[in-house]
Amino acid sequence: MRAIIQEKYGSTAVLQAGVIEKPVVGDTDVLVRVEAASVHVGDWILMTGRPYVMRMATGIRKPRVAVPGTDVSGIVDAVGKDVRRLRTGDAVFGWCEGAFAEYAVAGEEQFVTKPASLTFEQAAAVGVSATTALQLLRDNGKVEAGQKVLINGASGGVGTFAVQIAKAMGAEVTAVCSTKNVDLVRSIGADHVVDYTREDFTKGQNTYDLILDNVGNHSMAQTRRALAPTGTLISNGGGHADGKLGRTLRTMLASMVVRQQAAPSVKTQNAADLVALKELVEAGSITPVIDGTYALNETAAAIRRVATGHARGTVVITVNQQRKPVTEAPDSVPPPARPPRLIDAAVAPLAASPPA
C-alpha cells in the first residue's frame, strides 16, 4: 500500500512517500481503507520530535511508529475474529497510528460509524481536535448554559470545534480571531467576535466565566484580567512554540494559588467521546470546518500549513478518493537510503508547495 514514511525526526524533508505492507489485523482490530486523514499540531510535533520530552512517548532516537498520522476516516476492509460492533464495509471515523496511508489498523474501540451527513474529509477532521475541544469545555471547564465563554484562537483546528460545542452547551460565546476569520467564526455560531488585530481582549471591560486559550500569546496574569472572579482559564498548550510545556506546567501550579481556577488541559482518546461528537454532528450542532485538502503525496505541504499556526479549521489529506493532486510528485527521485518495511522502490519526494 502507499504510505508516508518517517524514519527520523526533522523537517518535512524526513517524510517520504513509499509503498509498504498492509497492516496486519489482530483479533480485536479493525483494518480501515483510508479515505481521508487530517493533520493537527501533534503531527507536526511528532515529525520534529520537539519538545524533546515528547520523545519519551514517541521514540527517543526515531519515531516508534514509522507511518505518521492519527485522525482518519474510511471503509472497514477487514475485522479481527473478536470484533463485534463493526463489519466490513462500514464507513467509520476515529483514531489510529499510521493514518497517512492507504490502510490503517486500530482496535475496534477507536472507531465509530461515520455520520451519513459528513463527507469522509469532514469525518477525518473530527478526531483529536474535536475531542480536545469537547473534553476541555465539558470536563475541565464544566461549561453551563448561560455562561460567558471566550475562545482565543477560535478559527483553528480546536477553536472551530470549541465555538460550536460551547454554543451547543448553551454558552454565550466570544471568539477571538483575525479580521479574515471574523465571518467564519460568526457563521459557526459565535455571539461576539474580537478581532485581535484591532482589540486586545485582556484589556477590555468584559470578563468571562471561562477562557479557552489555544494561542498563549498573553501572560497568565494578563489573561486572568479578563476572567470573572470565579472563572476558569484553560491554557490549551500554549501555541506552536517549544514553550507550550512550560506554560502548561505554570498553569497547573497557578491553579493551586490563584483565586480563579486555572485548569490545565488534558486529553484522552475514547470511543464514548467519538459517539458524543457524532451525536453533536447528527443534531446539527457541529460541522467540521476544512481549511483545505491535500493529496497523500502532499502530506509535507499539509503539515507545513498546520505549522504556520494560521489554518482556518482543519487541514485534510485525501487518500483513496478521486481528487486531482494539487502538485504531481516527480517520479525520477531516488528512494530514501534505508527505508524500513519498504517493499517497492517507487518512492517520490513529497510535494513542496501548498495548494493555490
Site residues (vs ligand NAP, CB under 6 A): 40-42, 128-129, 132, 152-153, 155-159, 176-178, 181, 196, 214-215, 217, 236-239, 244, 267, 306, 309-312
The DSSP code sequence of 285-311 is: S--PPEEEEEEGGGHHHHHHHHHTT--
Q: Indicate the residue among 158 and 274 with the shorter CB distance to ligand NAP.
A: 158
**What angle (nearest 5°) sits at the alpha carbon of residue 242, between those of residues 238 and 247?**
40
State which residue, 138 or 310, has the beta carbon closest to ligand NAP: 310
The closest residue (CB) to ligand NAP is 156
Q: Helices (DSSP H) in the chain: which residue ranges?
A: 41-48, 55-58, 120-135, 157-168, 182-187, 220-224, 244-257, 271-282, 299-307
For residues 129 and 29, the answer to whether their CB atoms sit within 8 Å is: no
DSSP letter at 140 equals: I
What is the nearest approach in angstroms of ligand NAP to the Cβ of residue 220? Answer: 15
Nearer to ligand NAP by Cβ, of 83 and 289: the residue is 289
Cβ within 8 Å of residue 337, ≥6 positions away: none
Nearer to ligand NAP, 32 or 289 (CB): 289
Output 22 or 310, the one with its CB closest to ligand NAP: 310
Nearest-5° Cα angle at 140, 218 to 207: 45
CB of 67 vs ligand NAP, minimal distance in Å: 18
Least separation in angstroms between CB 307 and ligand NAP: 8
Cis peptide bond upstream of 68, omega within 30: no
Measured distance CA(300)–CA(5) in Å, rounded: 11
- In the bound state with ligand NAP, the residue whose beta carbon lies nearer, of 196 and 294, is 196
Q: How far is the CB of 8 from ligand NAP (least distance, A)?
A: 22
Write down the least CB distance from residue 279 to ligand NAP, Å. 20
Least distance in angstroms from the C-beta of 42 to ligand NAP: 6
